[in-house]
């Protein structure tokens, strides 16, 4: 059984970008990576990656303060309460941000080439991967033994 309070990302992937907490897409994944980072169990996953940075920019929260809050929080709910206290974002803004984050894809040639390379390595016959969230879900699945 996976213990998300003490994730070991060398054994399992973080939660999907699509899983929401307080309406925020990606926040549970960010929490998993932060907790694993603090324990030295992040594996190939990186806290404060570009996707995390979208969250931090949107909320106006610094990644270093967030990491300290993750360390102090006893649960996802505790961390969400801290986020809500430290951002001025309204529910409609959070919903729009989350929808955008789930559908965000490469905006230019370099991003398209990167996704094409990853897709060729993971599942060259897949034609349904359109966003970074799609690719991350596929990569997480394949990285832990799934047949893509």
Residue ranges in the chain modelled with pLDDT below 50: none
SS3 at position 148: coil
Would you list the domain boundaries of the chain? Answer: 1-88, 105-148
pLDDT of residue 43: 96
Q: Encode pLDDT of 3-38 as tens digits.
A: 888 999 999 999 999 999 999 999 999 999 999 999
Q: Is 55 left (phi over 0), alpha (psi -120 to 50) or beta?
A: alpha
pLDDT of residue 48: 98
pLDDT of residue 37: 98
Query: Which pair of tokens denotes residue 66?
Result: 């967030």
pLDDT of residue 106: 85
């Amino acid at each position: 059984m996976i213990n998300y309070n003490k994730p070991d990302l060398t054994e399992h992937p973080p939660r999907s970008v699509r899983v929401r907490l307080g309406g925020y897409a990606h926040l549970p994944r960010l929490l998993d990576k932060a907790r694993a980072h603090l324990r030295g169990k992040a594996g190939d996953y990186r806290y404060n990656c570009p996707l995390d940075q979208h969250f931090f920019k949107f909320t106006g929260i610094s990644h270093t303060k967030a990491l300290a809050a993750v360390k102090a929080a006893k649960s996802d709910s505790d961390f969400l309460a801290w986020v809500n206290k430290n951002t001025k974002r309204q529910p409609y803004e959070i919903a729009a941000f989350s929808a955008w984050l789930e559908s965000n894809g490469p905006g230019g040639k370099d991003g398209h080439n990167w996704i094409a390379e990853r897709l060729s390595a993971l599942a060259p016959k897949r034609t349904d991967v359109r966003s970074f969230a799609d690719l991350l879900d596929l990569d997480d699945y394949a990285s832990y033994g799934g047949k893509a």
